[in-house]
Every structure is written in structure tokens, then in C-alpha cells.
Amino acid sequence: MAAPREFTDDVEVYSIDEAFMDQRGCRRAGTYRDLGCDIKAKVLKWTGVPVTVGIAATKTLAMAANHLAKTSHKAAGVLDLTESPYLDVALERTPVEEVWDVGPASASKLRARGLRLE
């Protein structure tokens, strides 16, 4: 968790391997995607652990972006959904079970109400 703090002091550790950053106060110029690529590279360099980076306006959307960053060859491990014209497409490709904080019981309820799952 030291690597993200190289870019901003506003890092919220969510679990042993997940964190949220407020990129508005980042000490780096460039696009959010550039920032994500730099974070990904730094974590790999410092720890040897490959990571994915999801960037979006909310924590839930960032988690969806992170899930898609893992599975998209085009994203190459970093996906920025802030102001993206493809946000709806990205959400359509996100199984409800992969939405942050939706567990199996909630997924079953959503499925029963007609929510399509990938």
C-alpha cells in the first residue's frame, strides 16, 4: 500500500490487496489512465505482484472498472471509466455478482427480478 501513497496521501485501504485513491490530489500530471499505468508499474516493480487498476467517479464504478481491467485485453490492466462514452457498455459486460458489495443472496434476488446476468 506504500506505492499508491507515492502519488497521493488520500489512500483508503479496503482490504489486504485493495485500496481506493482520490486522484484529485495526485502529485502527477497526465491523464487518469497514465496515472493508473504508473501505479500498476510501481506496484509491480516494488512487489513483483501484477495488479489491475479501475478508475471511475464512484467506488462501485471503480470496482466494476477494475473487474473489466482484469478481463479486457484492450485495457491491459488499467481501465478509466471517468467521463467514458462506454460506461453503459462496460456495465452491461459486468456480471451482477461482480458488482462491489453484491453477494450471492443479493444476486439471486436481482436475478429473480429479471436482471440479466452475463
Query: Annotated catalytic, 118?
Result: no
- Domain ranges in the chain are 2-84
CA distance 10 to 49: 22
Tens digits of residue pLDDT in 76-92? 999 999 988 888 888 88
**pLDDT of 19 over the 70 cut:** yes
Whole-number Cα distances in Å, 20 to 8, 13, 58, 63, 79: 11, 6, 10, 9, 14
For domain 2-84, is the CATH number 3.30.70.270?
Answer: yes
**pLDDT of 9 over the 80 cut:** yes
Q: What is the 3-state secondary structure (H, E, C) of 32-74?
A: HHHHHHHHHHHHHHHHCCCCCEEECCCHHHHHHHHHHHHHCCC
More confident residue, 7 or 77: 77
**pLDDT of 11 over the 60 cut:** yes
Tell me the whole-structure pTM to 2 decimals. Answer: 0.79
At residue 53, φ and ψ (nearest 5 deg) are -130, 125
Residue 116: per-residue pLDDT? 57
Question: Which is catalytic among the residues 6, 12, 18, 92?
Answer: 18
